Copies of this chain bind each other. A is one copy, B any other.
Amino acid sequence: MPLIDETARGVFVISVTPFLPGGGVDFDSLDRVTDFYLERGATGLTILGMMGEAPKLTQGEAREISARVIARAGACPVVVGVSAPGLAAVAELSAAVMDLGAAGVMIAPPSSLRTDAQIHGYFTQAVGAAGAGVPVVLQDYPLATGVQIDAAVIGRIVEDLPQIVMLKHEDWPGLAKITALRRAEAAGRRRISILCGNGGLFLPEEMARGADGAMTGFAYPEMLAEVVARAAAGEMDRAQDIFDAYLPLVRYEQQQGAGLAVRKYVLARRGAIAHASLRSPGAPLPPEAVAEVERLIARQERRLKELG
């Protein structure tokens, strides 16, 4: 399978991990949701991220899921999250998934990091642990990790570590960071791929600032694909029209901690997975929220029809 590199663009969907109501991994649904993402415009997939309930999996399950998705995705590149409290676990999981055919690995900084030097030092070691030649995605997600990475520090990491080929950008607010990174590249620094997260909440603006696409999840991945494609084609108004139609639900899914139950509810409703179940701990969507989601979907469908 091809490896990702700094030219990656489009939409890498953060895949959910489907579970059976009893708690086991639902491998049939895993195949189905993989197909679902690819049919709706994903140019890549990312698995075992935070929204993939990765910390709730055993290592054995994590490998089995990786193998299944990579096999199903065929020529479509699959990035695997390998963040772990220690470097030995990073190394072990990275070697395993690259053997299985992953296109690269994604690493977020542990929440204990504070100073610029600590962050730079950690990624130096983590890239070493990922293995020689393995493409690495740097996940910059301060809201979840508590680690703030200055644009200049990302720059030094990019200069010193050629294996870093992509930034999963989900700093918030982070538009100025995209601009700063692209300016430094225009002034001579090696270009990397920037794919944006945060559920796509700022996707039109991020594309206009120079992002190459999205790496995030949303129950309607076709929106991400269309917005990225239109924006890349310079059709910013059409991109924003489509985005706006989905925005009420994007916003609703973006509730920290509660959003995954929303996403799985909609994916199950759309037939992409058999059950909306989260693995414990993780509550199903309460009835009030179901009603809210249904109302947003009905409005969204009307709006899309108007848009044509």
Question: Which residues does A use to contact B, with CB under 8 Å?
Answer: 54-61, 84-89, 91-92, 111, 114-118, 121-122, 125, 147-150, 152-153, 172-173, 175-176, 179, 201-202, 205, 208-209, 240, 243-244, 247-248, 251-252, 255-259, 279-281, 286, 288-289, 292, 295, 299
Inter-chain CA distance A225–B251, complex, in Å, is 21
State the copy count for this chain: 4
Task: Give the residue name and chain of the B residue nearest to A292 (CB).
Answer: B205
In the complex, the answer to whether A175 meets B248 with C-beta atoms within 8 Å is no
**Which of B147, B173, B208 makes the CB contact (< 8 A) with A255?**
B173
Contact B289 A115 (CB under 8 A): no
Given A86-B56, A116-B115, A255-B172, check contact A125 B280 (CB 8 Å).
Answer: yes
Among B150, B172, B175, B201, the residue within 8 A (CB) of A117 is: B150
Q: In the assembled complex, how far is the CB of residue A289 from the closest CB belonging to chain B, in whole angstroms? A: 7
List 9 other contacts, CB 8 Å, given A55-B85, A247-B248.
Answer: A54-B86, A114-B114, A114-B148, A115-B150, A116-B117, A173-B257, A175-B288, A176-B258, A208-B292
> Which residue of B has the minimal Cβ distance to A110?
B55
A91 cross-chain contacts in B, Cβ below 8 A: 58
B56 pairs with A87, CB closer than 8 A: yes
B58 x A89 contact (CB < 8 A):
yes
Q: When A257-B173, A281-B121 are in contact, do A150 and B58 touch as well, CB less than 8 Å?
A: no
Residues of B within 8 A of A150 (CB): 115-117
Query: Taking A280-B87, A280-B125 as contacts, is the C-beta distance between A299 and B240 under 8 angstroms?
Result: yes
CA distance A256 to B201 in the complex (A): 13
